[in-house]
Amino acid sequence: MATIQLTASLPPLPSDWSAEKDFKPISSLSAPTNRTIEPLGPHFLAHARRKRHHRTFSEDERIQAAVTAKKTEDEDPGEISEPEDPMLLQREAKDWKTQDHYAIMGLSKYRWRATEDQIKKAHRKKVLRHHPDKKAASGKEEGDQFFKCIQRATEILMDPVKRRQFDSVDEAAEVEPPNKKDVQKKASNFYKLWGAVIEAESRFSKKQPVPQLGTEKSTREEVEGFYNFWYNFDSWRTFEYLDEDVPDDSASRDQIRHMEKKNNNARKKRKVEDTARLRKLIDDVMAQDERIKKFRQESSKQKNAKKFEREAAEKAAKEEAQRKKEEEERAAKEKEANEKAAKEEGKKAKEAAKNAAKKNKRVIRGAVKDGNYFADGEASPQQIDGALNDVDALILKLDNEEIAALTATLQGKTGNAEIKAVFVEEVKRMVEGGKLAEGEMKTLGA
């Protein structure tokens, strides 16, 4: 870095300035106070420690560094206390992309749950243990490969973007789906074993908090909400961490574009495969979920109950319709029988009326004979034919009731004049009623 030096000086005092006339004191000094001063602070303690143990500056710094390292190693034993795998210590720094960064830092049990503070503590502990200078000072021959692995792990885990890329493909954080036989051994195994799988998959959700599997006491709304969420799961999971390295600057532009296109296609393919994997996983959960079976049975019962009610209502409606139909048919039959009976009665009445009319007509024709065919002396054939023809024509103009009335009127009449008078009166009535024309009855003219 370039260093820039600037030279500046204060402006000179006016030539006529003097302390006696221009200096104005604000207040007077307070009286002195005697106080006892005792040495303290980290620097005095370090000085006292060196004097007491007769150490030089370098010896004291080396011993204090060892004490600090030991203290750092011993602090928070419950958080960062994983034993180091000898195979990890033999890793090559160039293979950083295949290394387990959480295992390198001793955070395997935390993984994606590890906080930034835990990562910092783990880094400090690892550096104090594996720094090349510390190893050399202790007389141990160890290369700096593992130390470089530590630095790379810290770099990735402390960067939110790079850490998310690594967490996206961290196979060690995945929880394998349980075996169906293990789930069936005990009812609670389903929620315990599958719950761990769901919790592990929850870390990829863009929407938080994520509905968990729940228990056998979960309500239907909670269970349906869980499956609706997971069947529409919106994952942030990406696969950039698995990209093949893009060639360095010595590569051509076409090579770089080809590699970028290849990596993009690989990411999309892995994304589709991961979506299908998650969908199948949720299908397996639902297939083994006894709550779904219970809810389906309840729905089936309700559906069947509604079906039975509907069938009962339909049956009642059919029975009612059948009853109405039978009543209508019975009423129709009764009506038909009544009409038939009435028709028979009418027919009989008509026959009786017809017979009575025939009888009355014979009586009327007989009355003409009894009235001497309306002649004063012995009736000639012409008078007989004329009288009979007029009476027949009169009978044709009369209905049965009028014929019956005329017959009743003729009852008891024996004299020629009386019988003729009855016919003449009837003809007159017919003429007045418009049923006969004036003079139409030649032998019965008034």
- Tell me how far apart the alpha carbons of residues 368 and 362 are, in angstroms, rounded to a whole number: 10
Q: Is the pLDDT of residue 3 over 70?
A: no
Average pLDDT estimate for 81-98? 81
Residue 51: both structure tokens together: 């004097």
Distance (Å, whole) CA 393 – CA 407: 16
What is the structure's pLDDT at 446?
47
189's CB contacts (< 8 A; 6+ apart) are 178, 182, 183
Task: Quote the CA–CA distance of 274 and 236 in Å, as a whole number.
Answer: 11
Could you tell me the pLDDT band of residue 153, with boundaries at 50, 70 and 90?
very high
User: Does pLDDT of 154 surpass 90?
Assistant: yes
Split at pLDDT 50, 70, 90, the class of 399 is: confident
**Residues 226, 209: contact at Cβ < 8 Å?**
no
Rounded mean pLDDT, 419-429? 75
Res 207: pLDDT: 92
Q: What is the pLDDT of residue 163?
A: 93
Of 234, 233, 230, the C-alpha closest to 284 is 230
Structure tokens that stand for 396 in this block: 């044709």
Distances from the Cα of 348 to the Cαs of 344, 351, 404, in angstroms?
A: 6, 5, 17
User: What pLDDT score does 277 carry?
Assistant: 94
Q: Backbone dihedral region of 286: left (phi > 0), alpha (psi from -120 to 50 degrees) or beta? A: alpha
Identify the pLDDT of residue 206: 92
Indicate the pLDDT class of residue 280, thresholds 50, 70 and 90: very high
3-state helix, strand and coil shares in percent for the chain, rounded to the nearest 5 = 65, 0, 30
Report the C-alpha gap between 135 and 238 in whole angstroms.
39
Average confidence (pLDDT) over 155-165 = 93
The per-residue pLDDT for range 92-149, each reduced to its tens digit, is 888 888 899 999 999 988 998 999 999 999 998 888 888 887 666 555 555 688 889 9
How far is 437 from 443, CA to CA, in rounded Å? 14
pLDDT at 39 over 90: no
3-state secondary structure of 403: helix
- The domain limits of the chain are 86-172, 177-288, 354-433
Q: What is the mean pLDDT of residues 355-363?
A: 76
Q: Which amino acid is at 297?
A: Q
pLDDT band with cut points at 50, 70 and 90 for residue 1: very low
Tell me what percent of the residues of the chain surpass a pLDDT of 90. Answer: 23
pLDDT band at 221 (very low <50, low <70, confident <90, very high): very high
The per-residue pLDDT for 146 is 87
pLDDT number for residue 151: 92
Interatomic CA distance for residues 157 and 149, integer angstroms: 12
Cα angle value 378/382/385 (rounded, 5°): 100
- CA 167 to CA 164: how far, in whole Å? 5
Distances in whole angstroms, Cα of residue 333 to Cα of each of 324, 336, 339 = 14, 5, 10
Cis peptide before 12 (omega within 30 of 0): no
The CATH classification of domain 354-433, taken from the options 1.10.540.10, 1.10.8.840, 1.10.420.10, 3.40.190.10: 1.10.8.840
**Each residue of 228-278: pLDDT tens digit?**
999 999 999 989 999 888 766 666 788 888 888 999 999 999 999 999 999
CATH fold of 86-172, please?
Helix Hairpins (1.10.287)
Q: What is the pLDDT of residue 194?
A: 92
Compute the half-sphere exposure of residue 158: CA atoms within 13 Å on the CB side of its CA: 14
Q: Note whether 86-172 and 354-433 share their fold.
A: no
Q: Where is pLDDT greater, at 56 or 79?
A: 56
Radius of gyration of the chain (CA): 65
Average pLDDT, the chain: 82
